[in-house]
Chain A
Amino acid sequence: MRERIGIWERHGDRYVRPPPLPFGDHHAAREEIPAAKPPGGRRVCLFGESAAAGYLYAPHLTPARVLEHQLRAAGGLEWEVVDLARTNETLAGLEATFAAARRLAPDVAVIFTGNNWNLLETSEVSPYHPTAGGRQEYGATLSEGGVMGVAELAARRRMQRAAAALARIADRAAGLRVVLVVPEVNLADWEARQPPPWLPAGGNRRWHGIYGAAVGALGAGDAPEARRLAEQLLDLDDGVTPAPFRLVAAAGGGAVAADAEVAADHYASMCFLGAPRATPLDREVQRRAAAVHGFGLVDLPSVFRRVEAMPGRRLFLDYCHLTAAGMRLAMAAVAGEILGRPPPDGPGPTVAAAVAATARLGAAIHTAHRLAGVTPGSAGIVAHWLGAALDVDAGVETAMREVAAARAAPLPEVLTGAQVRNLDSPYRLGFQHGWRFPHLDGPLLAAIDRVLASRELAPLDLPPVGGELVRYGLWEPVARFYPEVMDFADTTPHAMLRCPWPTTAFGFVAGDEPEAVLSVTARAVHSAGTLRVEVGGRAAGTLALAAGWRTGRWRLPVRRGVNQLTLRWPELAPARPGGGAELEDAAGRLARGLPADIHPVFGEVYSVRVTSRT
């Protein structure tokens, strides 16, 4: 067994990694790392997660490369930065790589981590956990402390694990200088929206009503009203969901409210897909560890907020990954900590326009996958990144068309001609750009079409994509991942889509025919009343729901290209007597070792079928 550092394996006087995979992999692209430092040189090892690995820009531009550039620009010593950051890094992986990297005799270790902890470190705290013991623990905690009790359990466990890991790293450091980089996250442009869990006394029905009104007020520019309504939401759900904090932040509450939103995103680790972002608690653990263990500290929230009160798209591509400007700012702070003085101002390492354009396209794709359709302002963010990509290099239009063609194909992207063309393109997309995505990418395709039209470029030319949309035509990412969000291989999917939001949207691509036939088979679960169906924002039909399955069929006008089909569910049914019993029911199932939903489901959709004729 050869010595290894990450995926680099010892061969003589150097460590060598396998060739990078065609769609990229989780590690830095550097093929060889000499075991010994150059004579008189200084070596920094950089550890961390995707933000530290330069996600969306890698391998062309990375924090390691920026840091090395800045250190060298300071003159004097010959600095080398070894990039050991890894996308999807965990605490266990970090510890192992840190220990192995001592063989490289670094002078400084920089650890830029924390964004992944809320998603990867306590996934066992879930009502869908694959073991009976895990479900029972969840149920017992739910019974005793409610949903906030479960959230606190996950947070407490995460903090303990992180603190212990950092303590072990301190033990292994043994004289090595360690610098912790506390992550900042995108506060202005990102949103953590989760549906509320069961609330007492019919609170869910009121919550959704108020939320809709608050979003409307915000859209109408009435920030005070939006904030007033958001405060009502906080009263209703006790701050267990992040959405009200986002409303407060958007209505003038600023970074404090945005931080509170991030803090409330713990719910993501239980039911729904969230985005990896360091929470205020995660940051605090790092600050405390730095003080206890004598680590150097670069506090990016402080650094970034000196530049922008609410850091957003200038510094971030998405939820936590840095723009080139963000990398420069962050690494200048790190270089300053290492050197004991600020590095000289100057341009960072340059990248080709195609690389910048591809990173921006990746930002648009990520935003569409995680936010579009879910959050009111996300369509604008997607359009921003698409436009920014075209601004820096108009040639990226070809990659946009390749993504669209691959998504609309009746094949996995890897089998499409569009993918083959993109592989040989300067705008080459990899897994980090969201290249693999088993659904029609409705929001992204629609945004690309709009941006192309706004620049008087030819519209997308896509083959019609209709048929059974439940299979792959979803518009809403949150609904798509529920409840298969957890990485539990044994999870049995449902034959129908369960809908935890008042609206559920699908996408389809129409050809030249002006009309299509739509049929929907659905049933109510916790709602009662009539389902309203819209296409392109226009009413298309209604369906009286019941506990049993009902099917509606309509002929409706469609536009050539991407269409959005929206189901608007009726309100949740009034509370049962003795409200709060739903959570007790959930706890009861969990105690029996069964998975359980801890939130209401408006309805279930068995089929949404769009065909060109009856």
Chain B
Amino acid sequence: MVIVGVSAFFHEAAAAVLVDGALVAASAEERFSRIKHDPRLPVQAYRFCLEAAGVGPDGVDAVAFYESPAKKVDRQRWAGSSPPPGQPDALDPGRPERMIREHLGHAGPILTFDHHLSHAASAYHFSGFDDAAVLTVDGVGEWATTGYHRAVGEHIETIDEVQFPHSLGLLYAAVTSYLGFRVNDGEYKVMGLAPYGEPVLADRVRRLVRSTGGAGFELDMRYFDFVGGEQMYSAAFVDLLGRPPRRPGEAVDGFWADVAASTQLVLEELLLEKVAHLAGLVDSPNLCLAGGVALNCVANGRIRREGPFADVFVPPPAGDDGGSLGAAALAHVALTGERPERRRLAGAAFGPGYGSGEVTAALRSAGLPAEPAGPDTVADRLAAGQVVGWFDGAMEIGPRALGHRSILADPRDAAMRERLNAQVKRREAFRPFAPSVVAGAASAHLDLAWPSPFMLETCQVVSPLPLPAVTHVDGSCRPQTVDPDAEPRFAALLAAFAARTGCPVLLNTSLNVAGEPIACSPADALRTMAVAGLDALVLEGVLVEAGALPARLPELLAAWEPAPRRAVAEGRPGHLYSFV
């Protein structure tokens, strides 16, 4: 049974394939199209999935779509949404099926599932749990913005939900917009900015949103404008917080950090309350989280530490890209009556991989000398302060690079964070970097009593070593614990670095620069190396020195690709959550 899950038409379009219930491949379309957050039908990701599954289009038993088009259009029409440029049929509920037929060439069954149910399945069916409570939280799906679910065996039952316009995701998006960052992109920045501030405005934020007890909460809609407005928040919102909105590029002072800190705190309080409520509804020691808000790793950390559940699972693609996994799993249950393979995801490497032959051919074409480089060689360079691109095996699904498409550096170097933000990643100076640590050594450096393989929760740094490049201003970090059984090559590199430095931790950030998707192919990696100014790049165990690249390459690349490619939804202003 081959089932391809598809999420599309909002942001992070993706495809995932299950073969006889086992997840074989998954990828976001942006990695192929090189359009950040590409929302279009995931044509290339679909082709990749079929290739990985070893089937042609006639070998696909069903396509599963991650939301219910009619319900979604119903809500969009209610909200006065209009089609964005270039998508005149965006409000046609027949569009997903039509495009799957006409653009993917799929003639077989198409199953659709509710958006939050797809999120729930993306977590539960890949958690390895026999049963779980599942909380899904995002901006909005069809009508639901928050879902409370009970999962047992192959069944996921939605117990309760909160509906649009009351939405924690939209609250966070409105603040993201108010702080001058792009909605659906800058939420990480708000979270990263929060520790620089104090939650002195929390009482004001609590006037924006209040719990109504039980599962419910409400936004005070006097402060928001989600219906046909030019921005997400009203004048009253601005008056309440006390300053006109920050313009993009404007200096980030303490006030903006305080807004971020206050919003983050209120979000965490509400999530902790709702998780506790869910624990009362579902008799299970396990919690699954999914939806865009489940990418808030600070909140996830508190839920894990302070919440009532013994175990918590958040899938690496917790956002809409993960909807493709969830829909495929739901379709598998619907068509076979059985649960997909019950196994906890040990890694996120379900994207394309490139063999050494392909890498060698690429380097030969590039005219670059190729020098084999084992963990010792790479560790030597990292220990010497070099910033190294690390391209190894299959690409990750989800927003985090976990040792397959990573930029690595020494976390002990206090100047490294500034260098990486300014010169390499080209992003705001306050953005933190994450550590990767060999699982067995994690507890010596982090206040973390369980594995965290996907960088989806934060904890305090308790290391005897100074780790300034990966320690946020509040002493926290967002770690990846690396299990040598699941990630043997990355673990070997960490071990080699530890052998040289006594530090089993590496700074690990994604192999891309701001505004671009994470590298997928060797060509993407070489391009990133040139643009980001990496000292070296390791492609499937082959080292490329920065000095081997033509000195003019960044200039040539800029001329080759003069305009950054924009996604369809980004044709709309960046300060608006796209409701279509």
Contacts and interface: CB of A to CB of B under 8 A. Distances in A.
Interface of A: 21-23, 130-133, 135, 405-406, 408-412, 414-421, 423, 436, 463, 468, 488-496, 521, 523, 547-551, 592-594, 604, 606-607
Interface stretch (B40-48, B293-301, B321-329): B40-48
A423 B559 CA distance: 13
B371 to A, nearest CB: 16
Contacts of B85: 130-131, 490
Given A463-B364, A492-B99, A131 B56 contact: no
B526 A411 contact: yes
B57 A23 contact: no
14 contacts: A132-B89, A410-B362, A411-B526, A414-B557, A414-B560, A415-B553, A416-B366, A418-B365, A436-B560, A492-B40, A493-B43, A495-B43, A521-B57, A593-B89
B86 A549 contact: no
Interface in B211-228: none
B88 interface: yes
Contacts of A495: 43, 46-47, 57, 103-105
A489 B566 contact: yes
A423 B550 CA distance: 11
B58 to A, nearest CB: 4
Nearest to B367: A417
A420 B550 contact: yes
A496 B365 contact: no
Contacts of B522: 410-411
Contacts of B550: 420
Contacts of B562: 21
A568 to B, nearest CB: 21
A22 B556 contact: yes
Contacts of B88: 130-133, 135, 593
A606 B362 contact: no
Contacts of B557: 414
B367 A420 contact: yes
A22 B365 contact: no
Given A409-B365, A495-B103, A23 B560 contact: yes
A504 B527 CA distance: 33
Contact of A496 (B105, B553, B556): B105
A547 B105 CA distance: 11
Nearest to B60: A549
B107 A548 contact: yes
Contacts of A421: 367
A373 B314 CA distance: 52
A464 to B, nearest CB: 9
Contacts of B83: 132
Nearest to A435: B560
> Which are the 10 A-B pairs with shortest beta-carbon distances?
A417-B367, A490-B86, A409-B365, A132-B88, A549-B58, A130-B86, A414-B560, A21-B559, A521-B56, A593-B88
Which residue, A490, A496, A551, has most C-beta atoms of chain B within 10 A? A490
A153 B390 CA distance: 56
Contact of A551 (B51, B56, B92, B103): B56
B523 A490 contact: no
Nearest to B527: A415
A488 B568 CA distance: 11
Contacts of B527: 412, 415
Contacts of A408: 365
B558 to A, nearest CB: 8
B335 to A, nearest CB: 19
Which of B86, B365, B526 is packed against the most chain A CB atoms within 10 Å? B365
B170 to A, nearest CB: 25
Interface string B99-125: 100111101000000000000000000
Given A411-B522, A417-B366, 5 more contacts: A130-B88, A408-B365, A411-B366, A414-B556, A548-B58
A463 B89 CA distance: 45
A421 B550 CA distance: 10
Nearest to B87: A490
B292 to A, nearest CB: 23
Nearest to B569: A490
Nearest to A25: B559
Contacts, number: 130
A410 B523 contact: yes
A495 B552 CA distance: 36
A606 B56 CA distance: 8
B542 to A, nearest CB: 14
A131 B522 CA distance: 37
Given A415-B526, A417-B367, A420-B550, A490 B568 contact: yes
Nearest to B568: A490
A410 B365 contact: yes
B358 interface: yes
Nearest to A465: B361
Nearest to B108: A548
Given A489-B566, A548-B58, A411 B103 contact: no
B367 to A, nearest CB: 2
Contacts of A606: 56-57, 105
B357 to A, nearest CB: 10
A570 to B, nearest CB: 19
Nearest to A420: B550
B103 A412 contact: no
Contacts of A130: 85-88
A463 B361 contact: yes
Contact of B103 (A131, A488, A492): A492
Interface string B510-523: 00000000000011
B422 to A, nearest CB: 25
Nearest to A488: B86
A489 B57 contact: no
A354 to B, nearest CB: 21
A468 B56 CA distance: 12
B306 interface: no
A23 B56 contact: no
Contacts of B56: 521, 549, 551, 606-607
Nearest to A132: B88
A492 B362 CA distance: 29
A604 B104 CA distance: 11
A412 B523 contact: yes
Given A490-B87, A593-B88, A23 B366 contact: no
Contacts of B485: none
B368 to A, nearest CB: 8
A415 B361 CA distance: 13
A287 to B, nearest CB: 37
A194 B274 CA distance: 62
A463 B555 CA distance: 28
A604 B40 CA distance: 21
Given A490-B40, A492-B40, A495-B105, A416 B367 contact: yes
Contacts of B566: 489
B559 A23 contact: yes
Contacts of A604: 105
Contacts of B523: 410-412, 415
B86 to A, nearest CB: 3
Contacts of A593: 88-89, 92
Contacts of B368: 417
A606 B523 CA distance: 24
The CB with the most chain A CB atoms within 10 A, among B40, B57, B562, is that of B57
A21 B562 CA distance: 10
Interface in B521-536: 522-523, 526-527
B544 to A, nearest CB: 11
B559 A22 contact: yes
B364 A412 contact: no
Contacts of A551: 56, 58
Contacts of B47: 495
A482 B354 CA distance: 29
A416 B365 contact: yes
Nearest to B103: A494
A131 B550 CA distance: 44
A521 B367 CA distance: 35
Nearest to A550: B58
